Amino acid sequence: MRVVHYLNQFFGGIGAEEHAGTPFEVRAGAVGPGKLLEPLLSDGAQVVMTVVCGDNYAVEHQQELTAAVVKKVREIDANLFVAGPCFDAGRYGMAAGALCSAVQLQLGIPAITAMSEENPGVNLYRDALYIVDSGVSVAKMRDVLLKMANLGKKLVGNETVGLPHEEGYWRRGLLRDQLADKKAGTRLVDMLLAKVNGEPFESEMLPTAFEPIPMPAAVKDLSKAKVMLITDGGLVPKGNPDRIEGTAATRWGSYSIEGRSDLQGEEYEVSHGGYDTRFVQEDPDRLVPLDAMREMEKRGIIGKLHNEFISTCGRSNPLSNTRRLGREMAEKIKQEGVDAVILTST
């Protein structure tokens, strides 16, 4: 196994905070903690190169450092990238996270780092990486390196990685399937009885706490506002020109309603596999209420209806995807000077 190791200026032996501005340097072989890591990886594993960089330099020149490190790791043909452990050093953790995820993404080789819970790198990179829990005590260096080595070996060998508490990494918030010994019905009753009897039980899924979204400021004067209709109900012109998928759509489209005051079923179709679309097919205004909006436009309740509506399909659409769709739509409507949007769903 050929390993490239990343260390900050302190663990790389250059010095403490006063050397945090030191540019990165590349050294052959293992340095500091790397010398401890090598035997723990066993099977003749070698730290073939160590990159050392000052913490401030790493944060201030992240792009440059990342590009250089990815290039070096590629050239030296490593099969594992290790950064840290970083303990609670924030800048070190941020650099380690950025480098590990870049190496993993661009080179397709596993990368591993270690941080304490307080390290801001944990929340930023935990979903992308296996980050071992290092705690805050440098005295535990050997224990932490052992966990990193074990995990690293499994990743390189493409072995099944155990659960966070078994392997000692921070929960990534990802899912994988597994065949359980018991049927779901039995697990359900087991869990209920444990809950009723006040015994500990482990829910198979965790609730997600989302950041609250602040209420936007009210539209000052609706009678002067440009309003737009957006739907996730999958209404598209006949033929579905943007090929919007009926499940977990990755695309959206924007369609002209210029000069129209009523949508005709024969001109549209519905790309959505999650609801009974017959009623929308019969009269698309039931999903995209153009007729009602034109009426409001005529009566001066709204200033103007934007000349396009946006449509996508919300069915079974994961957040990692819908965030992007939302951002793209928001960019467009901002550019086009829309003041308010009505979202219709199914």
Binding stretches for another protein (CB under 8 A): 127, 161, 163-164, 171-189, 191-193, 195-197, 201, 203-210, 245-248, 273-276, 278, 315-321
Q: How many Å is the Cα radius of gyration of the chain?
A: 27
End-to-end CA distance of the chain: 53
**Euclidean distance between CA atoms 231 and 332, whole angstroms:** 15
Tell me the closest approach of the beta carbon of residue 174 to another protein, in angstroms.
6
Residue with smaller CB distance to another protein, 185 or 337: 185
Q: Nearest Cα to 82, choosing from 149, 127, 8, 22? A: 149
CA dihedral sign, ordered 323, 328, 331, 337: negative
Tell me the closest approach of the beta carbon of residue 210 to another protein, in angstroms.
7
Tell me the closest approach of the beta carbon of residue 95 to another protein, in angstroms.
25
Tell me the closest approach of the beta carbon of residue 181 to another protein, in angstroms.
8
Residue with smaller CB distance to another protein, 82 or 249: 249
Residue with smaller CB distance to another protein, 44 or 173: 173
Q: Are 335 and 228 contacting, i.e. CB atoms less than 8 angstroms apart?
A: no
Residue with smaller CB distance to another protein, 63 or 197: 197
Q: Are 156 and 1 contacting, i.e. CB atoms less than 8 angstroms apart?
A: yes
**Euclidean distance between CA atoms 324 and 251, whole angstroms:** 10
Distance of CA 12 to the CA centre of its chain: 31
The SS3 call for residue 162 is: coil
Tell me the closest approach of the beta carbon of residue 211 to another protein, in angstroms.
11
Tell me the closest approach of the beta carbon of residue 232 to another protein, in angstroms.
12
Residue with smaller CB distance to another protein, 25 or 117: 117
Residue with smaller CB distance to another protein, 312 or 317: 317
* Residue carrying structure tokens 């072989």: 29
